[in-house]
Structure 1
Amino acid sequence: MKLTYSGGDPVEFYSSQSSTANITAILEDSGNFVLKDENSSSQQFLWQSFDFPTDTFLPGMKLGIDRRTGQNWSLVSWLSDIVPTPAGAFTFEWDTNGTELVIKRRDVIYWTRKEVDFSFINVSKAEEDYFMFTVSANQYAPQDQRNFSMWQLRSDGSVVDLTTSRTFGGPECKGNNTDAGCERWSGPTCRSNWNSFELRSGYFFETVPRKVDYNSSLSTSDCKDICWKNCTCVGVTPIANNANNTGCVFWYGSFTQGLTGNNIQHYIIVDQGSSEKYLFELLTMDATNDTLELENDGNKGHNLKVFSAATIMAATNSFSAENKLGQGGFGPVYKGTLPDGREIAVKRLSKSSGQGLVEFKNELILIAKLQHMNLVRLVGCCIQGEEKMLVYEYMPNKSLDSFIFGKELLDWKKRFEIIEGIAQGLLYLHKYSRLRIIHRDLKAGNILLDENLNPKISDFGMARIFKINDLQANTNQIVGTRAGYMSPEYVMEGIFSVKSDVFSFGVLLLEIVSGRKIHGHLQIDGRPLNLVGYVKFCSKDQLLRCIHVGLLCVEDNAVDRPIMSDVISMLTSEAQLTLPKQPAFSSARSIVEEKSLSKRAEIGTSINYVSLSTMDAR
């Protein structure tokens, strides 16, 4: 059996040594193409394609070595995305000594992994030593594709599961990172642990003329390796107009980044040290003397991940309008998808935002250190040039206000579960977290809902850290959402405490129960609001209890409001409740103002007096 083509020598696969052989060629369901001698009683194949893998790995194929013949089973990448010759820079192999999967670049280990997310078989015996994977545990594939899978070694050194688009190796390994299976590149002393290759758009200022190499056997990865080992090289650009996508331009001098620059992207050697050191200082400037560990882009772990702007741009399709989820006080929020398939929400600080570095720091410090099922989870961040971004887990049902004030319907059971979840999150912030946190901006728009409509408290830009023994604090800058959510003592005197959050929770509870905004007109078709119309979809006793607890939470005086542990107890038990006093702000504004004036007369001019407070609402 041989393959012939015009203008080239034939490629022979198999030649029978017997003139009496009855050879049959079969393409099996596994994808294996085999030759069998029908006259032979042996079940061994005369030849099979699985013994000669190219760049694709199927279930049933082997990576390893046949010690009887000396044959190695390994994948070889294409030279480029459009050149299928097996002369690429990468091989995907089974290391029989370390019993682990490895990706090599020109015979040098580039990536290793002892564990993979599939069931696999490792056979080690005198005749052969190999790795083989099965599809039964391919939980990441769509339901109708779980009985099929295949891996492909690409020209950039990544291995991709083509049924799920999950990747490992490749662009994750940027030169300096050793987590996620990556090996640090060897190179001169001019390359520090902070250096790495990043894909950027921008412009070069050449101090030395660029070098263009059209070598047809030079892959992009080869070019990066050459640049890495040359201290004067600052980056490389693949030659896009080359018919084979091989060869590169080597740059010397300096590079200026421009996120909205031209469409050409370059692989630039950047110093992550400046941004990460700055971020480290930023995160440790709080009173807790507690530090956060930083991780390079793409590494796995429980600590804070630092993403490059290029990674975020790729994830959000360059912040496209189609990916925009909304606009907040911090700036626009975009949906994105990371290379491993995880969906994220990216908050991008806008230059025109009323918030700034202080709020950005607040979010990083607080969310990164807090862990609770009713708090939104921070995935990582990006600080690069003028860009400051926060990366969160994606909440497919967006915010609570779109449900309780919109066309979406929530039955009473789910509404009560949401109320209880928010209460549990607040109790954690006030009492059980590593830090005592006052949120200061609790509202329906800052409660996100996951795929199961579980509530997650978000937006900690206005939050404040309390010392354990502190009961309240003063401020001369009133921040947060003013319309109905702020407690009287906060608005009038700049005093905030856990009871300020309790007040906001009470307002939110009443909104969830009634489906009406606190600052809207409490009427239906011109008639006074009647809650009887709402009790048809719920437990009347439970609804009335929620209203009762909500009114207790919005008491005028902070001392009359319950703490969150009492709130949860009142919501979930049938204990007798105290009667609420006069509702806040209904007719008490003059009384509050008189108290404020009286207090001013007692203590003199104070930064807490309302006339000296700067409103910074949103």
Structure 2
Amino acid sequence: MKYDTLFHTVSFLILLFKSSIAVDSIAPNETFLDNNTTLVSPNGNFELGFFSPQNSINRYVGIWFKKVPIQTVVWVANKNRPIADSSGSLSVTSSGNILISSNQSSLWSANSTSSNPVLRLLDNGNLVLDDGSGRNYSWQSFDDPSNTLIPGMRLGWDLRSGEERYLTSWKSAGDPSPGEYTYRTNPKGLPSLVLRRGSNITYRSGPWDGVRFGGSPALHGNTVFNPYFVFNATDVYYSFENTDDSVVSRFVVTESGILTYFRWSETGNQWIDIANLQADTCDNYAECGSFGVCEFGREPICACLTGFAPRLAEDWARFDWRGGCSRIAPLNCSTAAGFRRFSRVKVPDTSTSFVDKNARNEEECEAACLRNCTCVAYARTDATGCVVWSGELIDIRLYDEGGQELFVKMPLSQLGSRKSKRAAAVIASVTVVAFLVLLALIIWLLIRKRLAKKKAAMAEQQHDYPKQDENASMGDEDVALPLIDFLTISTATNEFSFANKIGEGGFGPVYKGVLPNGKEIAVKRLSRDSGQGLHEFKNEVILIAKLQHRNLVRLVGCCIHREERMLVYEYMPNKSLDLFIFDQTKLTSLEWNIRYDIIVGIARGLLYLHRDSRLRIIHRDLKASNILLDSEMNPKISDFGLARMFGADQYQETTKRVMGTYGYMAPEYAVDGFFSVKSDVFSFGVLVLEIISGSKNRGFYHPDHDLNLLGHAWKLWTEGNPREFVDASIRNRESAAVLRCIQVGLLCVQQRPEDRPTMSNVVVMLDSEHSVLDQPKQPGFYTQRMFDTDSSSTGNIPNTSSEITVTLLHGR
């Protein structure tokens, strides 16, 4: 009896001792009781124990944030089998199974086995059962998520084992049992993230195209977390990491089906909602029914795809679009068919799609869809190649920026046959023939008049290089640039194969090629289906052929073949600057000396354009994606499609067609259409601040304020803390030079053009270590958040037609 008393006393003291210190593991045959004892991760960030949700007396085993005073549970074990009192216990058997029991009755089991098992709570909040080595996990809580995704957890599929990890909402705030909503990864076709209520889809993200989800910004880090999406032969999943150890964040599917990112604010002592994925009504699944397209901001928001009409016209008129649309002209296996292109769209639900791995390029993808009687549409992306749809097209929306191109199969009668138009012209009366003769005479007179004006204009241009008219036809200007035939370019790019595609510019794709002499080239192919770009194509040929500088990309030649128009550049093996500074992996390889050389190189290239070339050139679209990098990381300014040529005594101009890229345009240009060399200076200043910080001006987010990147830099500068603006990987390197470049960047983005320095002054400020710089004034556009898109804005108005459309800014 004495020995039993002594044994229980020692056991109690051991338990008391263990409860007084933080332990992170349970060994076999140790019992973890519901008596306020907990497991704490080694870094003290997470805690495991018994808890009761709000307004509930039931007890559960769960994991929560240790350092957050408001208990926030991120994982629950026995969510379907609550314990009615404090009699619960957690233990690990010698065979490696995890048990939760109450009054000797088992309520939950991990159904795992392991030799030498140890149950551990890791620093990332993952509860694991290993073999004592701390590595080989036979079970882990990250494989069985609840309603919360925390950094390091995966939302998606292990394709090798067929295991899926997904989130399930709680039934209520006081009941963690599975609720109505699940958030899962759909790996079929173009991968997407899908929210369901029961078996019904309520929200579907845009499809993953290798860079972004639909029309969302490109997937890159912000000041709170760094998201990433893995899509390969073995894994399809979404995950994220915190930017640093001090951040506490989580992604939650709420009981009402809201998808939200939260960040814990220590100063406000509360959770802050930093991102809500369901942005507008068009994010509701199948809002416009089959073959309908949703465009938020339009009234009404739903329309049928071109070539389709509402199935239930009366319902449609009453804003009930669930019935969707149907074809105006039937399409069957015997119907001659073609395709209508829809751009900037969220492509349909991929449940009725499959990937055609044999189609290597867009032409082969189109041919495969034409051969397949059941195919109704196709799309191509860098991530998956050719995706083909059969059945009805559901859940399509139009984006302001981004998105994919969808090609919908249509009867040729709906596409407008040229043959039928010519046939109709042949069946004409004598009156029509007479009219055509008269029309031909008028056209001949107009051509003669136009040729006379063109000769006079060319003679005047050779005299003093006047400005180039915005809408003028540029004719056959005499430029010393070789023409390369279409067959040579097609052979060099392997017939424009998808494997040779290295980018997508504002007016078409870019391909890598190798000429017969072994020279590597980059070919910019003007989109044949775009109604824009011909003027810009000719503009770029004329301008860049006359410019020679080590910091300007060299144009090798051009090609005009039927409707094809192509520019052939020297190949830049390191591609564009944005692929480095906006990629967290590549960014760390950009040491300060490389970044400084890039900044100086861009400045010298701009100085040449503004002052030292025989033409005065305003680039108008200077941005990170238009800075190419050669094998030695030397920067070269490219893409002169929007550039304007000034006369020797001309410095500024006003236009009604504002073209450029949001986030880089100067205020006076974006608002009033007024541009000058100082407009390029503003764009250069944005570039400098992006290179130093590693963040984009467009889409920049900071949890403490609503400023964009320019405003963030200005705020830190005025507070005397500019080093916080610098990318962490170079923060302690060459601090004086870094701070000087920040000051130069802020001087360049000042609100008033007259306050900004010229590029000659910028080069002097960058080259001189001892020059005294002016204090910058308030930046322009420093409070505005901008959408994260890299497209240049041109003069087409958005609609739901089959043409490519982008946004027009009108000067006021």
In the superposition, the TM-score normalised over structure 2's length comes to: 0.36
In the superposition, the TM-score normalised over structure 1's length comes to: 0.47
